Amino acid sequence: MADVTEDEQVEAIKRWFEDNGTFLVVGIIVVLSIVFGFRTWETQTRETAEAASAKYEDLIAAVTISPLDELSEENLSTGQFIAQELKQEYSGTVYSHFAAMHIAKIYVQSGDLDAGLKELEWVLANDPEEKIKAIASIRVARVLHGQGKNEAALAQLDETNSTGHEASYEELRGDVLLAMDKSDEAREAYQRAVNAQQNKRPMTQMKLDDLVAPKTMIAVDDSDDTSAPEESE
């Protein structure tokens, strides 16, 4: 077989590029797009998380007070504004969920249960992580219980994954069932709560003790009491 000359090799390479060059270029472009696209997404995700984290820190700074102080209207307004920003601009981040839950806690503590419930429901509606979802769901049930909506609170608990929060879940379930005059079921829930507690809480034990079935007392009829002293003459 005759040796291939240098010119023939060049011509073969040219023909190969003419036949396959377009696919090669497209393939290179696709690969580069994926690589640079991923890096861009990764950078944007990191920057978004950092910005959301900074805003959340601003929120905490605005609404954190010492135990003996009261939250001022100005600080509350600032906290609400920052929380709203996080919910609107960073709704896909965990910080927006933390912000809504923090503001919800402030509302509930001040007695505005409707506003607190609205914030917690926003968390559940915006794809939170499972751990956050469980906490928010239990808090929704607690607020509903506080509003006297015990049937709704129990339904909320039935839909809640209590894994990792069994003690709080069962104690609240006991509170709701007790308010619904279901003492036996409430006692069982309190017992499960006590069993699930790593650090025993006296209040939960007290709730359980209050529902322990009392011993049957035999009533004594004085009219049949033969041991009663006779009246002196």
Does position 226 have pLDDT exceeding 90, yes or no?
no
pLDDT at position 3: 58
Q: Pick the closest to residue 193 from 215, 162, 160, 216 (CA basis).
A: 162
Rounded mean pLDDT, 64-71: 76
Residue 53, CA distances (Å) to 76, 85, 90 in order:
19, 12, 10
Identify the weakest region by mean pLDDT among 63-67, 125-129, 195-199, 226-230.
226-230
pLDDT tens figures, 147-166? 999 999 999 999 999 999 99
The residue assigned the tokens 């009261």 is 70
Residue 184, CA distances (Å) to 190, 194, 205 in order:
10, 16, 15
What's the predicted TM-score (pTM) here?
0.71
**Exposed / middle / buried, residue 53 (Cβ in 10 Å: 0-12, 13-18, 19+):** middle
Instruction: Name 130's Cβ contacts closer than 8 Å, sequence gap at least 6.
Output: 161
Does position 32 have pLDDT exceeding 70, yes or no?
no
What b/e readout covers 215-231, taking b as 16+ CB neighbours within 10 angstroms?
eeeeeeeeeeeeeeeee
Identify the weakest region by mean pLDDT among 10-14, 66-70, 109-113.
10-14
Domains of the chain (ranges; CATH) run: 129-212 (1.25.40.10)
pLDDT at position 90: 92
